Chain A
Amino acid sequence: MKELSLHILDIVQNSVKAGASEIEIDINEDILKNLLEIDITDNGCGMSEEFLKTVKDPFSTTRTTRKVGMGISLFEAAAVQCGGYLEIESEQGNGTSLKVFFEYDNIDRAPLGNMAETMITVIMGAPDINYVYKHRKAGKEFVFVADDIKNALGGVPIDSPEILNWVKEYISEGLENAGINM
């Protein structure tokens, strides 16, 4: 995939399928350590120890529409091609946490891309979930909490097109103000 934000979108779909009610996306751009870290944590159904052992293999999937599950293996490949790696922890009944590390300045590292579009896309796919998105860079931080938006909206659905477009701009602006340019 061309952007890391597309992998994030895809991995969040796994958390949605796992029945999570809260999904946190943490991005840390640590330029001094030459490190980019992306963590995606959910409180969904988790995986058994046995399944977890083979989950990075494209042939482990619980999907029924095709025999391969590509999401995690593609994200891992994107990290490995630039000197990074991917870790998964999961506990059945409690949730899953996936951490991916990249060499920040590696020329083979895909750009982060458009996180605002990724966020409104996941909100649209499953609007009831509380998405928390934290993005740090050079001592500055941007934090987005979907439930704060829903509270401000009263009864108006967060997935109305006009609201989603507003949220997209809100996130882009917030990132820009924190000095995070995509």
Chain B
Amino acid sequence: MKSLAELQQLRDKISKQVDLRKDRENGIRIVVGMATCGIAAGARPVMNAFLNEVSKRGLSDVTVTQTGCIGMCRLEPIVEVFMPGEEKVTYVHMNEEKVARIVAEHIINKQPVAEYTVGAVQE
């Protein structure tokens, strides 16, 4: 049974591990479109899959956040990845299977998955 006491243990573990705030400020940002168009197309499970991967792999310098509609509703779910010093990469028609590959190849190995990007779709 989950209790607030258990949460406090988790809190203590996390705050010892890392300098969370500093990591978050300098780190990688994964941004999921979460307006009506994104939600209807399946953005919620995509966001939850990113959260699971990031948490499972202990990637403390990665934050997962959300944005509204960016005006490409047909291509939702849309995910943007911001890496320090790199240009933004936009992934379209996202699903849970694509998430694992993007985390392994792009977030960890710094090689964007070209075939999932908006450029690949529009060509």
A residues in contact (CB < 8 Å) with B = 1, 6, 9-10, 13, 17, 63, 65-66, 69-71, 74, 114, 117-118, 120-121, 124-125, 148-149, 152-157, 159-166, 168-170, 173-174, 177
Asked if A156 and B15 sit within 8 Å, CB to CB, the answer is yes
Interface residues on B, range: 35 or more
B residues in contact (CB < 8 Å) with A = 1-2, 4, 6-8, 10-11, 14-15, 20, 24, 34-37, 39-40, 44-45, 47-48, 51-52, 54-55, 59, 62-66, 68-71, 73
Chain A binding site: helix, strand, loop or mixed by DSSP? helix
How far apart are the CA atoms of A130 and B7 in the complex, in Å?
A: 18
Asked if B14 and A9 sit within 8 Å, CB to CB, the answer is no
Asked if B11 and A153 sit within 8 Å, CB to CB, the answer is yes
- With both chains docked as a complex, state the minimum distance between the C-beta of B15 and any C-beta of chain A, in angstroms: 5
Name the one of B10, B35, B47 contacting A163, with C-beta atoms under 8 angstroms: B10
Asked if B8 and A118 sit within 8 Å, CB to CB, the answer is no
Asked if A120 and B15 sit within 8 Å, CB to CB, the answer is no
How far apart are the CA atoms of A63 and B21 in the complex, in Å?
A: 33
* CB closest residue in chain A, given B53: A161
Residues from chain B with a CB closer than 8 A to the CB of A71 are: 36
Name the one of A63, A121, A162 contacting B34, with C-beta atoms under 8 angstroms: A121
Asked if A13 meets B20 with Cβ closer than 8 Å, knowing A6-B44, A117-B45, the reply is no
A to B CB contacts below 8 Å, 24 in the list: A1-B40, A9-B34, A9-B44, A13-B35, A65-B68, A66-B71, A117-B48, A121-B34, A121-B47, A124-B47, A124-B64, A148-B4, A153-B7, A153-B11, A154-B11, A157-B20, A161-B51, A163-B7, A163-B14, A164-B55, A165-B52, A166-B7, A166-B10, A177-B1
Asked if A162 and B10 sit within 8 Å, CB to CB, the answer is yes
Asked if A156 and B20 sit within 8 Å, CB to CB, the answer is yes
How far apart are the CA atoms of A173 and B1 in the complex, in Å?
A: 7
List 13 additional contacts besides A13-B36, A120-B51, A148-B4; criterion CB under 8 Å. Answer: A6-B44, A65-B68, A66-B69, A69-B36, A70-B40, A117-B48, A152-B7, A159-B65, A161-B64, A163-B7, A165-B55, A170-B7, A173-B1
How far apart are the CA atoms of A155 and B21 in the complex, in Å?
A: 10
Asked if A162 and B70 sit within 8 Å, CB to CB, the answer is no
